[in-house]
């Protein structure tokens, strides 16, 4: 009983409104954040820096993109057949 | 959900749906008024012994039956546009839910923290408990907090489907390769039912949607187990 009265440990976070994608079609929102994460990680690791700032893009695309899409894209990246520019 | 033989809209569970019901009543009243006026005039025309064979022009009445319909149309358009823009208002979602259509079930993903994903199949009729609704119940309901703006991203894994929940005023197409956003908010706890609204094959009528809105505190307790 006491446990349910405790406040949650962190505040729930979900991707905020992105003014670049104000309309109903959020496909590009998901894809753009996925690309941004991949590019961020690639650039940070090339410069030998910590990729912690890239976590924002990771959280946004995980929240927005269907997991099947993400798995499909990750497989394509592994196979070298991903069509986006990373 | 709809009562047996229900003709009208379901009770609203969200503010947008309340506005839509009010607009529907407004537009329907205008339709009733115009229809009854026309029917009355037809009955007058058919039951008169008077004739008039020499009409040359009718400037006054032409003016009236042009201006008056224009004003009526404006009276319909203004509330309609108001609600249209209201549905597009800037929103700060509390939670993101993904609803993905398949043949013939919905799958839901809550990915803000840990990946929670489950499928929601129709409950077959022979498994229903007494009091449950035929062709509307599902095995796993979608639990959501009430009084919170929820962003629902709708897509499909195969063919076109449509995610609809009438009490919340939501109907959004599920298109493969596209992510459609809808905002959902319920003012009270409860179960809200919907059905797939785009023909998608043999079991199109058998892939319902059930949203279970619970108190915010209960949802936060449930959710806290997700982001420990």
- pLDDT digits 0-9 by tens, B201-221: 999 999 999 999 999 889 888
pLDDT of residue A6: 41
Nearest 5°: the CA angle B108, B190, B8 is 100
Return the number of other C-beta atoms located less than 10 Å from residue A60's C-beta. 22
Chain B residue whose CA is closest to A6: B221
pLDDT of residue B226: 61
Residue B73 burial by Cβ neighbours in a 10 Å radius (0-12, 13-18, 19+): exposed
Chain B residue whose CA is closest to A8: B224
Note down pLDDT in tens along chain A; length 86 residues. 344 444 444 677 899 999 999 999 999 999 999 999 999 999 999 999 998 999 999 999 999 999 999 999 999 999 999 999 99
Chain B residue whose CA is closest to A9: B224
Can you tell me the mean pLDDT for B12-38?
97
Quote the CA–CA distance of A14 and A18 in Å, as a whole number: 12
Whether residue B91 and residue A15 make contact (CB cut-off 8 A), yes or no, is no
Percent of chain B's residues with pLDDT above 90: 85
pLDDT of residue A10: 61
Quote the CA–CA distance of B82 and A27 in Å, as a whole number: 27
Can you tell me the mean pLDDT for B184-203?
96
Q: Which of A1, A12, A25 to mutate against chain B (most B CBs within 10 Å)? A: A12
* B109 neighbourhood in chain A, CB within 8 Å: 66-67
Whether residue A67 and residue B182 make contact (CB cut-off 8 A), yes or no, is no
């Amino acid at each position: 009983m006491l446990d349910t009265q405790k406040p949650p440990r962190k505040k729930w976070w979900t991707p905020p409104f992105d003014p670049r994608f104000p309309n109903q079609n959020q496909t590009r929102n998901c894809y753009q954040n996925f690309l941004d994460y991949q590019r961020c990680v690639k650039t940070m690791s090339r410069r030998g820096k910590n990729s912690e700032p890239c976590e924002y893009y990771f959280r946004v695309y995980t929240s927005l993109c269907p997991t099947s899409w993400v798995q499909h894209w990750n497989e394509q990246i592994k196979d070298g057949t991903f069509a986006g520019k990373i | 959900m709809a009562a047996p033989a229900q003709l009208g809209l379901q009770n609203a569970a969200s503010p947008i749906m309340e506005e839509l019901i009010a607009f529907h009543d407004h537009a329907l009243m205008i339709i009733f008024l115009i229809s009854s006026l026309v029917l009355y005039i037809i009955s007058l025309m058919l039951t008169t012994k008077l004739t008039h064979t020499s009409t040359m022009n009718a400037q006054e009445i032409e003016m009236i039956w042009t201006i008056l319909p224009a004003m009526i149309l404006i009276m319909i358009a203004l509330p309609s546009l108001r609600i249209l823009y209201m549905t597009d208002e800037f929103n700060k979602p509390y939670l993101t839910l993904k609803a993905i259509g398949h043949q013939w079930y919905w799958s839901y993903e809550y990915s803000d923290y840990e990946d929670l994903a489950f499928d929601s199949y129709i409950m077959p009729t022979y498994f229903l408990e007494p009091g449950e609704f035929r062709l509307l119940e599902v095995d796993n309901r979608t639990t959501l907090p009430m009084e919170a703006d929820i962003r629902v991203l709708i897509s499909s894994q195969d063919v076109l489907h449509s995610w609809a929940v009438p009490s919340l005023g939501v109907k959004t197409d599920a298109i493969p390769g596209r992510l459609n956003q809808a905002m959902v908010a319920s003012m009270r706890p409860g179960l809200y039912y919907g059905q797939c609204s785009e023909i998608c094959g043999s079991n199109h009528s058998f892939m319902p949607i059930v949203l279970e809105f619970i108190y915010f505190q209960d949802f936060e307790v449930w959710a806290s187990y997700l982001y420990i």
